[in-house]
Each structure stands twice: as C-alpha cells, then as structure tokens.
Amino acid sequence: MSIMVVIENLDHISLGTANLKKSLEFYRDILDCEVLEENEKYAILELDRIIIKLNLIPNYKFPITNPAAFTFSFSLDVDDFTNAIIELEEKNIPIVHGPIPIEGGETLLIRDPDGHWIELQYKEDSD
C-alpha cells in the first residue's frame, strides 16, 4: 500500500533579503503586493492569493544565476504587460531579458533587489 502526502494548498513562499525595506518597497510598489505584516525581521505580503514572506538575512544574495533553475512567473493581460514595461522603465527597474515572443504572447525577466528572477508574461486567449 502506497502512502501519499495530501497537500491542501500552498501556504506561502519564503524569500531571503539583505535589505528588507528595499525588497518590501519593490514587491509593494512594483508588483502591487499588499503588506499584511511587517517587523524588523520579516514582512508578509499578499499578491492575489499568493503569500510571500521576506526574511531578513544579512548579506543575502540569491545564488541562482540561471532563470531556468528557479523563477517566479506572473501572468498579466496584454495591456497590463505593455503598461508594466513603461512602469519598469520609469522606475529604473532593468529588464534583464525580453520582451520576447512566446507562444501566444510575450515574456520578460526582471530581478528583485536581492537577485530573485521574476518573469512577467501574457498569453492571448484563444477563443
């Protein structure tokens, strides 16, 4: 008989950060996360139903240099994608790669203040 772990949902994603204030501003002001809780050691944010916990770790730097190894990917609609490019440029957030075409849409990569890879993408609805 096989026993399996029964998962009900994803509780949260934890990310290290060397500068909690700077990362908090990025996730709140660039990605429109809502701040649920904040203290000197961590902040808990919400984006739609995704909970992100930023943990202060002195001298932290995300160690993964290849976005294929680990990336947060967020979906936008086509108008929001276009507006995101403009906003990223206005706020001096470098687009590391893209925008490039993907099947049915476009994608681009940015990095947060600690180097975590973030993909912003849209796909056209095929009706």
122 and 79 housed in the same domain: yes
Domain for residue 2, yes or no?
A: no
- Measured at the CA of 29, the angle between CA 24 and CA 31, to 5 degrees, comes to 90
Could you tell me the two tokens for 1?
């008989």
DSSP state of 33: P
Compute the distance between CA of residue 68 and CA of residue 99 in angstroms, rounded to an integer: 16
102 and 121 housed in the same domain: yes
Compute the distance between CA of residue 112 and CA of residue 72 in angstroms, rounded to an integer: 11
CATH number, residue 73: 3.30.720.110
The pairing of beta strand 72-75 with beta strand 117-123? parallel
**pLDDT 10s digit of each residue in the chain, 127 long?**
778 888 888 899 999 999 999 999 999 999 999 999 999 999 999 998 899 999 999 999 999 999 999 999 999 999 999 999 999 999 999 999 999 999 999 999 999 999 999 999 999 875 5
Could you tell me the two tokens for 39?
């203290």
For 51, the domain range is 9-58
50 and 71 housed in the same domain: no
Does the pTM surpass 0.75? The reply is: yes
Q: Look at the chain and report how many structural domains it folds into.
A: 2
